Amino acid sequence: MPNETAGTSEAKTELSVTPKASAPVAASTSMVLSGAERQLDGKTHAGISVMVAADGQPSTLMIPDVAGVATGEPVYITKPIRIKGENLKKFLANKGVTLPDAITNLIEDTQISCEAFYYSNNGPMLLMFALKFEEGLIASLTGDADLGALFDIKGASVRLLRCAESSFDVLKQYAAGLES
């Protein structure tokens, strides 16, 4: 865990996955308070954490404020998980996310590894997917067969990012929480 030093005393903190945009790394010791940093307004907020699994590997889909999702509150996973490519394609299409054809063709109708999923309707979005390839990837992305023949391909990651500069700290802290 990272340590922060204040004066001569040392305090341990853990990264929070849903901090305020301007907040420093805040302590959050469990899912009990995950996302609470955005709800410190004296009102009652109902949240849910949904235990999800694929290939026997568990993760949690966090919805810290169920009533706020429609107005931009985030939904995110706490650990990477495998999802169906066809469901990802539908989700992106329904959310108006248009990808270049070369990227759309990479998202096959198979299981893919979802490394990061942080989504809000009108705020930051970070989606990262790991894909496995053996050949043809570089040539299909660049249109240059010679460039594609230079390297042995082992896999690729696709990142979809929508973020205003003012929200970048939120995504940095989310990503740091995935790595811890």
Q: What is the mean pLDDT of residues 2-7?
A: 40
- Per DSSP, helices labelled H in 4-106 are 85-94, 101-104
Q: Which residue has the higher pLDDT, 38 or 28?
A: 38
Res 134: pLDDT: 62
9 vs 50, more confident: 50
pLDDT of residue 74: 93
Angle at 42 between CA 41 and CA 45, to 5 degrees: 85
Residue 62 has pLDDT above 80, yes or no: yes
Give the integer Cα–Cα distance in Å for 56 and 38. Answer: 32
Both tokens of residue 58?
A: 């568990």
pLDDT for the residue numbered 115? 92
The least confident of 6-15, 78-87, 156-165 is: 6-15
Among positive and negative, which fits the CA dihedral 117, 161, 86, 66?
positive
pLDDT-based confidence at 160, cuts 50/70/90?
very high
CB atoms within 10 A of CB 117: 26
* pLDDT tens for each residue of 117-127: 999 988 999 99
State percent of the chain over pLDDT 90.
23
CA-CA distance, 48 to 31, in Å (whole number)? 10
Q: Please tell me the predicted confidence (pLDDT) of residue 155.
A: 76
How far is Cα 164 from Cα 125, in angstroms, rounded to an integer? 10
φ, ψ for residue 97, nearest 5 deg: -85, 115
pTM for the model stands at 0.71
Encoded amino acid at 50, one letter:
V
Banded model confidence at residue 10, pLDDT cuts 50, 70, 90: very low
CA distance 116 to 171: 10
Place of tokens 């042995």: 152
Domain residue limits, the chain = 43-179
Q: What is the DSSP letter of 25?
A: P
What pLDDT score does 58 carry? 84
Q: Which of 179, 172, 62 is nearest to 124 (CA)?
A: 172
Task: Give mean pLDDT, residues 30-46.
Answer: 77
Statement: residue 109 has pLDDT above 70: no
Parallel, antiparallel, or unpaired for β 156-162 and 125-131?
A: antiparallel
- Averaged pLDDT score across all residues of the chain: 77
Chain centroid, CA 109 distance in Å: 20
The set of residues, in sequence order, having a beta carbon less than 8 Å from that of 43 and lying 6+ positions away, is none
Most confident of the following: 4-18, 36-50, 133-147: 36-50
